[in-house]
Amino acid sequence: MFAGIVIDDVLIPGLALLVGLAILLVWRSLMRRDRLSARLKALEKRRVRLRGEALAAPNRSRSSVIIGGQIRSFMDRLNLTGRTPTSGPQLKLQRAGVRSPDAPVIYLFCRMVLPLVAAVAAILVFYVLKLVETSELVKLALSAGMVVAAFAAPDLYLSNMTQRRQQALHSSLPEGLDLLTVCAEAGLSLDASLSRVSKELGPLAPELAYELNLTSVELAFLPNRTQAFDNLVDRTDMPAIRGMVNTLRQTEKYGTPLANSLRILSAEFRNERLLRAEEKGARLPALMTVPMMVFILPTLFIVILGPGALRIMDALVKS
């Protein structure tokens, strides 16, 4: 007993307080684990949702689904889908922006059927109905030309679509790099930056938004992150995208600041776009020379010299 206070009266509440603190610490640690597991589950759900949105086929009508299924069944009956490799056509279709699962089969079907249709049409036009009267050699040449054009038509169509898509990607790439720079300066990771930029660019540049969104999903799911960058380069086949991918690889490998690299790359792409526009402007006078000589100058001569020629003709007639 000390100053009216018993040691047992202090020891028992102190021990109770220590036990309560220990229980509180254990409970807090368990709650942290539960929060961490919940956070991991939420991230996993988000990754699954992003992957489903990025890899999902575009909305197709019922008729297109039925036609695609009938073509696939026809090709399977002829055992052509297994013999013909689809990796090359699939890569061409991806570069053209066609992501339908039936697209490679439809492409191979068109390449097989269109020459036959062109040959039948040539026989009907030149030999059965005889709508064009010419020599046999010219008929054979025209028929062969129709068959060759029908065989090359799918490749030409895909090449045109690929060029237009690459132009759209190239024109929107500087703005996308600016948004990536802002996200990197805000402290977001590369995956989060690509996902955020793809959402912002969706209404304005859907081609670039799709590629960036798919790349962010592949960075999260593929075991090798470099494979996601390789897939982006293969899908676009553009020197500008290849330069951007090399910059991203360098920042991940050597730890260089991502924002500075993206800012420099964006400035280079803008200068390249400006130089390309100036080049087109410098070529314009040379391109306008032939139309001016063919269409504008004869009309100008008629307007200027026509009245004088008419007066001279009237004077000669009266005399």
pLDDT tens column, 193-223: 888 998 898 888 889 999 998 898 888 888 8
Answer whether residue 311 shows pLDDT above 80.
yes
Per-residue pLDDT tens for 83-111? 455 567 888 888 888 887 778 888 888 88
What are the residues whose beta carbons fall under 8 Å from the beta carbon of 226, sequence distance 6 or more? 249
- Is 229:248 a contact under the CB 8 Å cutoff? yes
Neighbours of 62 (CB within 10 A): 7
Answer whether residue 60 shows pLDDT above 80.
no
* pLDDT for the residue 131: 84
* pLDDT for the residue 127: 86
Q: Which residues pair with 83 in a beta bridge?
A: none
Quick one: CA torsion of 34, 40, 42, 45, rounded to 10 degrees?
-140
Looking at per-residue confidence, does 289 or 26 come out higher? 289
Per-residue pLDDT tens for 216-263? 888 888 888 888 899 999 998 898 899 888 888 888 777 778 888 888
* pLDDT for the residue 51: 58
> Within 13 Å, how many C-alpha atoms sit on residue 286's CB side?
5
**How does residue 57 score in pLDDT terms, banded at 50, 70 and 90?**
very low
Q: How far is CA 208 from CA 76, 174, 205, 215, 243, in A?
A: 35, 11, 6, 11, 15
Largest CA distance in the chain: 154
**How does residue 72 score in pLDDT terms, banded at 50, 70 and 90?**
low
Average pLDDT of the residues in 109-116: 88
Per-residue pLDDT tens for 294-309? 888 888 888 888 888 8
In angstroms, the CA 264 to CA 248 distance is: 13
Per-residue pLDDT tens for 171-190? 888 889 889 989 888 888 88
**How does residue 48 score in pLDDT terms, banded at 50, 70 and 90?**
low
Q: How far is CA 62 from CA 22, 66, 105, 109, 110, in A?
A: 64, 6, 18, 20, 20
Q: Is the entire prediction scored with pTM above 0.85?
A: no
Answer whether residue 66 shows pLDDT above 60.
no
Answer whether residue 34 shows pLDDT above 50.
no
- Is 102:78 a contact under the CB 8 Å cutoff? no
Q: Is 301 helix (H, G, I), strand (E, B) or coil?
A: helix
Per-residue pLDDT tens for 126-153? 888 888 888 889 889 999 999 999 999 9
User: Which position has the token pair 């991203």?
Assistant: 248
Structure tokens of 281? 């402007």
The DSSP secondary-structure symbol of 57 reads: P
Answer whether residue 68 shows pLDDT above 70.
no
In angstroms, the CA 72 to CA 144 distance is: 29
Neighbours of 122 (CB within 10 A): 19
Residues in the chain: 319
